[in-house]
Amino acid sequence: MAYEFLLPDIGEGLTEAEVVRWVVSVGDQVAEDAPLVEVETDKAVVEITSPSGGVVLHHGARPGETLQVGAVLAVIGQPGEAWSPGDAAPVVGTLIEDAEILAARDGEPEPPAMAGVRTLPLIRKLARDLDIDLTEVEGTGPGGRINREDVQAAAARRSTIKMGPMAGGGEERVRMSKLRRTIADRMERSWREIPHVTIFDTVGADRMLDLRAALSSRYDAPVPLEALVVKAVLPILAEFGEFNASLDGDDLILKRRYDIGVAADTPDGLIVPVVKDADGRDLRGLAGEIVRLADAAKSRSLTPDELGGATFTVSNIGAVGGGHGTPIIPYGTTAILSVGRAEPQAVVRNGAVAVARMMPLSLSYDHRVIDGGLGRRFMARLRENLEEPGLFLAG
């Protein structure tokens, strides 16, 4: 009897997936627990295996198409078996993360040279669509991994060679990736439904940056700036609970947990992994967790649990050269802090001009919950902590 494999519940907040590549074609045999299809969710590329062996009778969607959770993903039966919708028993599949080496297209032996190419499945698909040989592309990602920009740059160089440097005009329609479409939908909803207010400040960062350098040397491991910022903001969130909350109709839900989103810039877009129970970690543990989550974000290997449930968010736009900004509040929270790049500036101290490293801060908050006075008091307390790290490290 044939089985209808339904797209499984992928995790918190994820209700659909886009097919990237079918590992097994219709009419081919598949073994139990063998890779069946690769799909892209909002935040990760994952592999779905077959719950049972048999012959693939039907694909529920073509590459590039999106399926809702619970929809028929594939039908597996016996050789020569006929199938029509509704004739099979439903079975839910399983997910296995896969963000590294990917086999060639169905039915095609992978060239030996491709076996060592490091990239994501969706980037291999992009390269195939653009007819780019990945063995000739130099990866600029971590460990030499090839990212989307590398492939697009290779395609642009080839186009320039074919067309000539003076070619111009025309236009190109490019479908946004699943991740980019998800980001766009969430940002639009947040901006449409939340009345944003953004306030700005600039704080002296000398003591904090010196402390960061000393701790990195002592630990012999990187201490991300975000780790110190999160440590500085945690006691303030406890004091000003409106910033660690969510709005549900006429009720404000004050969160007594501190799961802090730390935005990560990746080749495929902005991803915000969540440091769970941030208040229960010491600085060294917090730093290690932020580094781990950032690496997983870049390789698209985060789990759904690591991507959901943030109660407050920190975004270090200084890591990409940013200064002040107007960050958009993640939907379901009430505030986000953006930290810019610290730069030497002339400042007046004790009546004299001095040079100090000054760091821009931008705090966006939900004006339905937080008014201007409360926002300024939050920022003033944060300024105190960042300029004198001992205030929050001692506690």
Catalytic residues, which ones?
367
Quick one: which of 175, 158, 154, 176 has its CA closest to 167?
158
75 Cβ contact list (under 8 Å, min separation 6) = 2, 3, 4, 5, 56, 57, 58, 60, 83, 88
Quick one: which H or E segment has residue 246? strand 245-248
Quick one: which of 158, 183, 38 has its CA closest to 97?
38
**What is the rounded distance in angstroms from the CA atom of residue 16 to the CA atom of residue 241?**
33
Angle (nearest 5°) at CA 170 between 167 and 174:
115
Asked if residue 300 lies in contact with residue 322, where contact means CB atoms within 8 angstroms, the answer is no
Q: How many CB atoms lie within 10 A of CB 132?
A: 22
How, if at all, do strands 335-339 and 312-316 pair? parallel
For the chain, count helices (H), then strands (E). 8, 21
- What's the DSSP call for residue 111? P
**What is the rounded distance in angstroms from the CA atom of residue 363 to the CA atom of residue 86?**
53
Here the tokens at position 5 are 């494999």
**What is the rounded distance in angstroms from the CA atom of residue 50 to the CA atom of residue 4?**
11
Residue with tokens 């969706």: 122
**What is the rounded distance in angstroms from the CA atom of residue 235 to the CA atom of residue 243?**
12
Quick one: which of 145, 52, 141, 150 has its CA closest to 93?
52
